[in-house]
C-alpha cells in the first residue's frame, strides 16, 4: 500500500463543501484523516485498527494557530471537512480509488491506494488536484 502525505500549504476546502468547527483530542497535522470520537473531539484514524476506523471520518482542512508546518496541537480548534470537494495537498489520480491507510510506522490519518484491514473508501478524485470526500462506512458485523 502506498500512502500519501499532503503538502499542508495546499490543503483547503473548495466552495460548497461541508466544513464544521471541531477540537483535536490529540496532536495532528493539516490534511490528516480523523474520526469524531464519542466525546465529540477528533482523533486520528487508521485502517488497521477497528476503533480508529469506525465512526464519522473527517479531514482537517484548517487550524486556529495556522502553523506553517501544519501541526495541530491537542485541544486546538480546527475546521473539519465532513463532505465535499477539497484540495488534498497531493496529486490524486482520477483513475484510482483511495482508502483510509493502515498505520505507517507511527503515522495515522493518511490516504492509501489500497484498502486497509478495515476498508474505508474515502471518495473519488475528480482531477489531479480535487478530491470529492464522501467516505464509506466501515463494514461491521452485527449480532
The domain ranges of the chain are 3-133
Residue 143's pLDDT band (boundaries 50, 70, 90)? very low
This prediction has a pTM of 0.89
pLDDT at position 139 over 80: no
Instruction: Say which DSSP state 54 is in.
Output: S
Residues 45 and 48: their CA atoms lie apart, in Å, by 9
Provide the pLDDT for residue 6: 93
Q: What is the average pLDDT score of the chain? A: 88
What percent of the chain has pLDDT above 90?
62
Per-residue pLDDT at 130:
97
CA 48/CA 62 separation, integer angstroms: 26
Q: Which pLDDT belongs to residue 7?
A: 94
Rounded to the nearest 10 degrees, how much is the dihedral formed by the CA atoms of 8, 9, 10, 11?
A: 50
For every residue of 12-62, DSSP letters joined together read EE-TT-EEEEEEBSS-EETT-EEEE-TTS-EEE--TTSHHHHSS-EEEEEE
* Res 116 pLDDT > 80: no
| pLDDT for res 30 | 96
Please, which pLDDT band fits residue 47 given cuts at 50, 70 and 90? confident
Give the residue carrying C-alpha cell 477497528.
50
Amino acid at each position: 500500500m502506498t500512502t500519501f502525505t499532503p503538502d499542508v500549504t495546499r490543503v483547503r476546502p473548495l466552495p460548497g463543501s461541508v466544513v464544521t468547527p471541531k477540537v483535536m483530542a490529540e496532536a495532528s497535522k493539516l490534511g490528516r484523516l480523523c474520526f469524531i470520537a464519542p466525546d465529540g473531539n477528533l482523533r486520528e484514524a487508521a485502517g488497521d485498527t477497528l476503533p480508529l476506523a469506525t465512526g464519522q471520518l473527517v479531514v482537517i482542512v484548517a487550524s486556529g494557530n495556522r502553523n506553517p508546518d501544519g501541526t495541530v496541537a491537542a485541544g486546538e480548534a480546527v475546521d473539519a471537512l465532513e463532505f465535499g470537494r477539497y484540495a488534498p495537498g497531493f496529486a490524486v489520480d482520477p483513475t484510482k480509488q483511495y482508502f483510509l491507510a493502515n498505520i505507517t510506522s507511527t503515522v495515522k490519518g493518511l490516504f492509501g491506494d489500497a484498502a486497509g484491514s478495515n476498508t474505508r473508501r474515502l471518495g473519488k478524485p475528480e482531477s489531479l488536484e480535487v478530491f470529492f470526500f464522501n467516505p464509506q462506512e466501515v463494514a461491521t458485523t452485527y449480532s
